[in-house]
Amino acid sequence: MAGSLNKVQLIGRLGADPEIKQMVNGKSVARLSIATSQSWKDKSSGEKKEKTEWHRVVIFNEGLVNVVQQYVKKGANVYIEGQLSTRKWKDEATGQDKYSTEIVLQGYNSSLTMLDSRSNSNNSNLVSENKSSLPNENMSQDNSDLDDEIPF
């Protein structure tokens, strides 16, 4: 169908360390669980409310799998671009058909960007234990040390 687009963009935090597995063909695949949150003030009660959505992400891109395996840990703040994909599978216990919708990163039209500074990524577990899973916690930080991360 001409004129259609299947693209997902998320900024969120990893709820667990990435899961890396080997496929039958010998290539690696990474699975991530990313939380995105929104907060608002309830008009009637004045109480602060929050809603967190969890997203399953599957990475088939070999280069991104290597980066995730080496550098991305629980609590890391990441930006991803990929495509929505729904797969059908059979529940072994009940024999019923089940469906899972995931964000797939594969090929040239996908990306993953680590948003934590280098010094923060080493402490990402500490950050996730002491703060909520809000995806924009580090967005207001002083980014004066970004020049240290430019590889050229």
Domains of the chain by residue range: 8-131
Degrees to nearest 5, angle at CA 88 with 87 and 91 = 130
Query: How many residues are there in the chain?
Result: 152
Q: For 21-62, what is each residue's pLDDT tens digit?
A: 999 999 999 999 999 999 999 999 999 999 999 999 999 999
Confidence of residue 118 (pLDDT cuts 50, 70, 90): low
Q: Give SS3 for 76.
A: coil
What CATH class does 8-131 carry? mainly beta
Band (98; pLDDT cuts 50, 70, 90) = very high
Q: Is 24 left (phi over 0), alpha (psi -120 to 50) or beta?
A: alpha
pLDDT recorded at residue 148: 52
pLDDT in tens, 12-23: 999 999 999 999
pLDDT for residue 89: 87
**0.75 exceeded by pTM:** no
Nearest-angstrom CA–CA distance, 12 and 112: 11
Report the pLDDT value the prediction gives residue 116, as an integer from 0 to 100. Answer: 86
| DSSP codes of every residue in 34-66 | EEEEEEEE-TTT--EEEEEEEEEEEE--HHHHH
> Which has the higher per-residue pLDDT, 130 or 74?
74
29, 21 contact by CB (below 8 A): yes
| pLDDT, greater one: 141 or 44 | 44
| Residue 117 pLDDT | 72
Q: Which residue has the tokens 């040239």?
A: 108
| 45: its two tokens | 């009660």
Closest CA to 122 of 89, 80, 75: 75
How far is the C-alpha of 128 from the C-alpha of 119, rounded, in Å? 15
Neighbours of 127 (CB within 10 A): 18
